[in-house]
């Protein structure tokens, strides 16, 4: 200012910076003059900063998709610094197989989060888990997050969780494919792959080459319809297949069509391959015909019989065992036998048209690889010299990758130290690195005492 402009108003711009909280601040600006007769003049101006932030919850991501029988994580933080007291956020709205846990370190499922003025902008994780169900309907759940405490008393926010369905509508056949000897019959079963939303009807069609089916042997005539409800959908229903003698020596193949209707099965249609083995040509009938599942450290059984009467006794030798899979054709004898004998004498227990059982065992191992072996059945004797038949055996693994802690709970004195051990539960397919996280300001970890630092 000078003697000429002293009465002209000069503007001072004041800016209020965004501080992230919702507190209304007050600042006192001091103005001290010097020069002329203003050497002792000073004056204050009170500036009140009105906050432009509203309390709110930040959910990351804005919506969550989780696979059935799996889990996903989203995070929660406050949008602004709370005034004074802590803020508690409660999660609700779980259901339809969806659950949440706000603290994986505590037993049970926790549903609250706590924020203070020190950690209000730190993201806190929430684990969402979707349990497995039997239907093929994708569920959607809306989780509500309600805050309380400080200036967050009326704050809430929702998060939509969509469960991706692991099940799909379908038909399950057993066995597949089906082998039936000409001038004879065989049976397969049908069930639904998932629980339907309503009753389902399955119609069998496309029979041919002298093949017929019957879905209800208790009713006169050949029935072609199966009915399933929301209660019995997973119960196998039998279908009888008959193949007439056609006089030729050709092995026919027929694809039976199965068309479903009702519930969420309106667009489901599947075929089952039926292989008709001519009764005039030597052959082996292995049941199940395509593959056999056996659980690790357990056993399963399949059967073998001849298609037609041999000219003399026939011997069938099983080979191809390995990878922990063994067979036994005679459980009454010591050790694992691998030979079946078929007789032409109707008075014997091993008469050619009788099925003979073979027991398959899968040894337990320490890895998580599901083994597969192909068993070969080679016939000799009579007119069966060149006859072979294969069966695929698949081992259902019981081991799963995991970490083993010793001990499972670790306690130590404040200011002291303690050790625990870590090992793998199963043999890995390649090298594995385990990284330890979660240590805080009061706890540190060190996985190698020989190296400097933690």
All CATH 2.60.40.3450 domain ranges in the chain, comma separated:
284-396
Q: What angle do CA 279, 280, 284 make, to 5 degrees?
A: 55
3-class DSSP assignment, residue 409: coil
Region 51-74: what's the mean pLDDT? 85
Instruction: Judge whether residue 414 has pLDDT over 80.
Output: no
Q: Is the pLDDT of residue 166 over 80?
A: no
Across 16-30, 175-189, 280-294, 326-340, the highest mean pLDDT is recorded for: 326-340
pTM comes to 0.52
Q: What is the pLDDT of residue 23?
A: 60
279: left (phi over 0), alpha (psi -120 to 50) or beta: alpha
pLDDT tens by residue, 218-267: 888 889 999 999 999 999 999 999 988 765 556 788 999 999 999 899 98
For residue 413, the surrounding DSSP H or E stretch is none
Share of the chain above pLDDT 70, in %: 92
Q: Which one has a higher pLDDT value, 371 or 245?
A: 371
Specify the residue for token string 């996280």.
Answer: 437
- Cα 346–chain centre separation: 51
39-55 pLDDT per residue, tens: 887 888 777 665 556 78
CA 369, 375, 378: angle at the middle one, nearest 5? Answer: 170
Give yes or no for a contact between 378 and 317, defined as CB atoms under 8 angstroms apart: yes
In the prediction, which pLDDT does 299 show? 95
pLDDT for 239 equals 95
Give yes or no for a contact between 10 and 31, defined as CB atoms under 8 angstroms apart.
no
pLDDT at 305: 93
| 352-377: average pLDDT | 90
440 or 102, higher pLDDT: 102
- Nearest CA to 70 out of 149, 143, 130 is that of 130
pLDDT at 450 over 80: no
**203 token code pair:** 């119609």
In terms of pLDDT, which residue wins out, 441 or 264?
A: 264
Q: Is the pLDDT of residue 91 over 90?
A: yes
pLDDT at 340: 97
CB of 354 within 8 A of CB of 323? no
Residue 412: closest CA among 423, 420, 403:
420
Label residue 127 by pLDDT band (50, 70, 90): very high
CB of 170 closer than 8 Å to CB of 268: yes
Q: What is the pLDDT of residue 250?
A: 64
The CATH number of 57-164, from 3.40.50.2300, 2.60.40.10, 3.30.930.10, 3.40.50.150, is 2.60.40.10
Tell me if 211 sits within 8 A of 274, measured CB to CB.
yes
Token couple for 211: 């093949």
pLDDT at 21 over 70: no
Tell me what pLDDT residue 420 has. Answer: 86
Q: For domain 171-277, give its CATH number from 3.10.450.40, 3.60.15.10, 3.90.180.10, 2.60.40.10.
A: 2.60.40.10
Distance, CA of 78 to CA of 121 (rounded, Å): 6
pLDDT(20) > 60: no
Domain with CATH 2.60.40.10 in the chain: 57-164, 171-277
pLDDT band at 449 (very low <50, low <70, confident <90, very high): low
Q: Are 96 and 139 in contact (CB under 8 A)?
A: yes
pLDDT tens figures, 286-342: 988 778 999 999 999 999 999 888 999 999 999 999 989 999 999 899 889 999 999
- Predicted confidence band of residue 447 (pLDDT cuts 50, 70, 90): confident
Q: Is the separation of the CB atoms in 323 and 371 below 8 Å?
A: yes
Higher confidence at residue 192 or residue 131? 192
- The pLDDT > 90 percentage for the chain reads 44
Q: Which CATH number fits domain 284-396: 3.30.565.10, 1.10.10.10, 2.60.40.3450, 2.60.40.790?
A: 2.60.40.3450
Q: What is the mean pLDDT of residues 147-176?
A: 89
Q: Say whether pLDDT at 269 is over 70.
A: yes
Residue 452 vs residue 434, higher pLDDT: 434
Top-confidence residue, 113 or 288: 113
Residue 441 pLDDT exceeds 70: no
pLDDT at 16: 63
């Amino acid at each position: 200012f000078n003697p000429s402009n002293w009465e002209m108003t000069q503007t001072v711009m004041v800016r209020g910076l965004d501080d992230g909280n919702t507190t209304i601040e007050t600042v006192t600006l001091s103005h001290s003059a010097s020069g002329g007769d203003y050497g002792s003049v000073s004056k204050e101006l009170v500036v009140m900063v009105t906050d432009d932030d509203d309390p709110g919850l930040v959910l990351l991501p804005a919506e969550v998709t989780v696979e059935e029988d799996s889990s996903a994580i989203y995070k929660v933080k406050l949008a602004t610094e709370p005034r004074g007291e802590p803020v508690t956020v409660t999660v609700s709205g779980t259901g339809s197989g969806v659950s949440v846990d706000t603290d994986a370190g505590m037993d049970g499922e926790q549903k609250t989060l706590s924020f203070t003025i020190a950690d209000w902008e730190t993201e806190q994780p929430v684990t969402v888990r979707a349990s497995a169900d039997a239907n093929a309907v994708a569920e959607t759940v809306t989780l509500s997050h309600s805050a309380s405490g400080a200036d967050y008393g009326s704050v809430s926010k929702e998060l939509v969780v969509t469960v991706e369905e692991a099940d799909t509508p379908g038909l399950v056949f057993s066995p597949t494919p089906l082998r039936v000897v000409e001038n004879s019959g065989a049976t397969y079963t049908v069930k639904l792959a998932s629980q339907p939303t309503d009753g389902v009807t399955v119609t069998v069609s496309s029979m041919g080459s002298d093949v017929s089916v019957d879905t209800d042997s208790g009713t006169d005539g050949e029935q072609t319809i199966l009915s399933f409800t929301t209660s019995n959908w997973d119960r196998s229903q039998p279908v009888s297949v008959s193949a007439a003698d056609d006089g030729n020596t050709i092995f026919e193949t027929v694809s039976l069509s199965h068309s479903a209707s009702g519930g969420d099965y309106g667009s489901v249609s599947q075929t089952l391959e039926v292989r008709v083995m001519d009764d005039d040509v030597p052959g082996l009938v292995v049941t199940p015909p395509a593959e056999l599942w056996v659980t690790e450290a357990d056993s399963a059984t399949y059967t073998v019989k001849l298609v037609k009467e041999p000219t003399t006794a026939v011997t069938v030798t099983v080979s191809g065992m390995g990878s922990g899979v063994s067979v036994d054709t005679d459980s009454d004898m010591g050790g694992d036998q691998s030979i079946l004998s078929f007789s032409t004498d109707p008075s014997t227990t091993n008469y050619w048209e009788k099925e003979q059982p073979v027991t398959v065992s899968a040894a337990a191992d320490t890895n998580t690889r599901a083994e597969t072996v192909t068993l070969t059945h080679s016939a000799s004797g009579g007119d069966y010299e060149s006859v072979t038949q294969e069966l695929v055996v698949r081992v259902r693994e019981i081991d799963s990758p995991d970490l083993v802690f010793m001990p499972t709970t670790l306690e130590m004195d404040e200011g002291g130290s303690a050790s625990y051990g870590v090992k793998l539960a199963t043999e890995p397919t390649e090298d594995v690195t385990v990284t330890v996280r979660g240590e805080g300001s009061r706890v540190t970890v060190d996985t190698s005492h020989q190296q400097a630092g933690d």
